[in-house]
């Protein structure tokens, strides 16, 4: 009886191994500016050739703290709702004139505004009608594979399923991401690290523009 159980357990273990999902890969990207220096707060994202269906996306938060947007740079997947609380005791009026999402929110301290759903991919510049020096950037991307670079300019994209992707990088105040780089994630192999050097000017802007920015095409 014991022998039968062991054989059954072995069979089940084999079946479980066969049913395991294909290996997912991690990709490390280092982003440099045009002088070759590491660029923090860059966004890198990989758009799969075959779209991946997703369930309910978590709500993102862009707060207003001491007359600044926090964080200044965000990235979310298309369809994400973003909450704009106001942690200051003064009024803010958050706007976007970017084609991917145009809106104005009057934010009063202690009164919650409804979240804004970003249902179109694009680069969105946020400003405040009351405080010119407030500026934030929101990238809306058609993929769950995205990340923001750390102080060393390093981004890690984890859990990439095998398949083909288009890889993009962006840093404020670029009006478009970099041109698409093809990325192939094999079934079982480690991905080599990638370095992307941005040729565009990456000096942060001091105020948000009062007109729209062109949207991106992916
Ligand atoms: Cu303000």
Tens of pLDDT, residues 33-71: 999 999 999 999 999 999 888 889 999 999 999 999 999
- State residue 190's pLDDT score: 87
The CATH number of the domain where 116 resides is what?
2.60.40.420
What's the pLDDT at 4?
Answer: 47
Task: Report whether pLDDT(13) > 50.
Answer: no
Distance CA 12, CA 41 (A): 47
Whether the predicted pLDDT of 93 surpasses 90: yes
Q: Please tell me the distance between residue 94's alpha carbon and the centre of ligand 1 in angstroms.
A: 7
Mean pLDDT of the chain: 88
Q: What is the pLDDT of residue 213?
A: 63
CA–CA distance, 125 with 207 (Å, rounded to integer): 10
Matching residue, tokens 């976007």 = 96
Position 215 pLDDT exceeds 90: no
In a domain, 136, yes or no: yes
Asked if residue 106 is part of any domain, the answer here is yes
The whole-number pLDDT of residue 216 equals 57
Strands (E), the chain: 25-32, 43-48, 60-61, 63-65, 68-70, 73-77, 80-83, 92-98, 101-107, 116-118, 122-128, 135-141, 146-148, 154-160, 163-170, 181-185, 194-197
pTM: 0.86
With respect to residue 86, please indicate whether it lies within any of the assigned structural domains: yes
Residue 11 lies in a domain: no
Average pLDDT over residues 185-191: 88
**106-153 residue pLDDT tens:** 988 767 889 999 999 999 999 999 999 999 999 999 999 999 999 999
Give mean pLDDT, residues 208-218: 64
Does residue 207 belong to any structural domain of this protein? no
Residues paired with residue 141 on neighbouring β-strands, in sequence order: 77
Ligand 1: centre distance to CA 100 (Å): 22
Q: Give 83 Cα–ligand 1 centroid separation in angstroms.
A: 16
Query: Is 135 part of a structural domain of the chain?
Result: yes
Could you tell me how many helices (H) and strands (E) the chain has, helices first?
Answer: 1, 17
What are the residue ranges of helices labelled H in the chain? 2-19
Q: Residue 42: helix, strand or coil by DSSP?
A: coil
Measured in Å, residue 136 CA sits from the centre of ligand 1 at 12
Distance 66 CA to ligand 1 centre (A): 9
Distance 86 CA to ligand 1 centre (A): 9
Residue 205 lies in a domain: no
CA of 80 to the centre of ligand 1 (A): 23
For 131-144, the pLDDT digits (tens) are: 999 999 999 999 99
Q: Tell me how many domains the chain contains.
A: 1
Cα(200) to centroid(ligand 1), Å: 29
Whether residue 85 is contained in a domain is answered as yes
What does the pLDDT read at residue 15?
44
């Amino acid at each position: 009886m014991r022998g039968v159980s062991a054989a059954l357990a072995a069979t089940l273990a084999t079946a479980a191994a066969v049913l395991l999902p294909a290996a997912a890969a991690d990709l490390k990207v280092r982003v440099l500016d045009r002088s070759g220096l590491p660029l923090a707060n860059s966004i890198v994202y990989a758009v799969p050739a075959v779209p991946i269906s997703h369930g309910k996306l978590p709500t993102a938060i862009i707060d207003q703290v001491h007359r600044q947007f926090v964080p200044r740079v965000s990235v979310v997947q298309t369809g994400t709702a973003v909450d704009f609380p106001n942690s200051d005791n003064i009024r803010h009026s958050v706007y976007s004139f970017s084609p991917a999402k145009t809106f104005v929110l009057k934010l009063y301290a202690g009164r919650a505004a409804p979240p804004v759903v970003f249902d179109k991919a694009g680069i969105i510049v946020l400003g405040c009608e009351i405080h010119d020096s407030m500026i934030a950037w929101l990238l809306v991307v058609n993929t769950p594979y995205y990340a923001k670079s750390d102080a060393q300019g390093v981004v890690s994209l984890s859990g990439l399923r095998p398949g083909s992707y288009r890889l993009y990088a962006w840093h404020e105040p670029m009006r478009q991401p970099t041109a698409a780089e093809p990325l192939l994630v094999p079934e079982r192999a480690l991905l080599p690290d990638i370095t992307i050097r941005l040729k565009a000017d990456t000096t942060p802007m001091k105020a948000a523009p009062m007109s729209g920015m062109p949207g991106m095409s992916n």
